[in-house]
Amino acid sequence: MSTRRDFTKGALASLAAVIAASAPARAATAAFDSLREKPLRIGVLIFERMDQIDFTGPFAVLSRLPSSSLAVLSKDGRPIRDHKGLRLTPDLALKDAETYDVLQIPGGPGQEALMEDEAVLSLIRRQMDAQRVLFSVCTGALICGAAGVLRGRQATTHWSAFDLLPFFGAKPVRSRVVVDGPLITAAGVTAGIDGALNLAALLRGEAVAQQIQLDIQYAPDPPFYSGEPQTAPREVLEAVRGRYEPLTNARRATAKRIATKLGV
């Protein structure tokens, strides 16, 4: 029978494997190499009814990167509330945003309201057109998909929305973190920490990423094995899937409409 220690070792081994697997992408991607020695400008979008961990988890990592600055953006520069009521305050409105070295797009239920928001989609397109790094967490990948930048690229997202990725021309990969050129996608919520550590390794080297991991004591040791649909008890999966159903149906309808626009 598996033990918590076995589960923890497996989780940390998986993280190490993902970082190791990113080495070919790192070697092949000038977007990361060109940033290795320069000061970094990082932008993060926040929005109403997002999931704050999609932002605050990676923030714990990215804010510790040497020689970097981080700007928090919202559509109008006003504070927002995440879908559980936490208030977050941005630094800038979208109209004042730059093209950043790294742009992070979180997810959460509020993602639906941005799927056809041209100001947000244009920000994402500009980032990729400039061959800068784009980092999505959870269903932030769907927003990126709506911008048309996932076409032909490998990507992942939250398990409840994973089967929607092909509507945006993406190649779905069941992994906590996927690196495809300058695009990094992380799966649901807490996977954003894994994604940010991989990004830290790509931008500043694995030694720096490991120092940050130790600093934040990121050593997952969950009390249950319910963090993935494949390991959760059937009754747990059915209960959570049922709660997601209205949002999943809305996301599917939106994805189909956008697929038509994108010609996918």
Specify the CATH number for the domain of residue 218.
3.40.50.880
pTM: 0.90
Q: Does residue 8 surpass a pLDDT of 80?
A: no
Q: Give the model's pLDDT for residue 9.
A: 52
- pLDDT at residue 42, rounded to an integer: 98
Q: What is the pLDDT of residues 196-231, one digit of tens each?
A: 999 999 999 999 999 999 999 999 999 999 999 999
Per-residue pLDDT at 28 exceeds 60: no
Cα–Cα distances in Å, from 172 out to 69, 115, 141, 146, 176? 32, 19, 11, 15, 12
Query: How many Å apart are CA 22 and CA 51, to the nearest integer?
Result: 26
Q: Between these two residues, 103 and 28, which has the higher pLDDT value?
A: 103
Q: How many CB atoms lie within 10 A of CB 70?
A: 18
CA 55 – CA 105 distance, rounded (Å): 8
Residues 174-202: pLDDT tens digits? Answer: 999 999 999 999 999 999 999 999 999 99
Provide the pLDDT for residue 181: 94
**pLDDT confidence of residue 4:** 53
User: Structural domain tally of the chain?
Assistant: 1
Percent of the chain at pLDDT > 90 equals 87
Q: Which one, of 258, 16, 34, lies nearest residue 150 by Cα?
A: 258
Domain that holds residue 201: 4-262
Residue 155 has pLDDT above 50, yes or no: yes
Angle, vertex CA 62, rays to CA 57 and CA 63, nearest 5: 100
pLDDT of 250 reads 97
Beta carbons of 252 and 164 less than 8 angstroms apart: yes
pLDDT for residue 245: 97
Q: Two tokens at 159?
A: 């398990």
Mean pLDDT, residues 106-132 taken together: 97
Residues assigned a catalytic role: 138
Model pLDDT, residue 31 = 75
Evaluate if residue 14 carries a pLDDT over 60.
no
CA 159, CA 172: separation in Å to the nearest integer? Answer: 11
Instruction: Identify the pLDDT of residue 19.
Output: 47
What rounded mean pLDDT belongs to the chain?
92
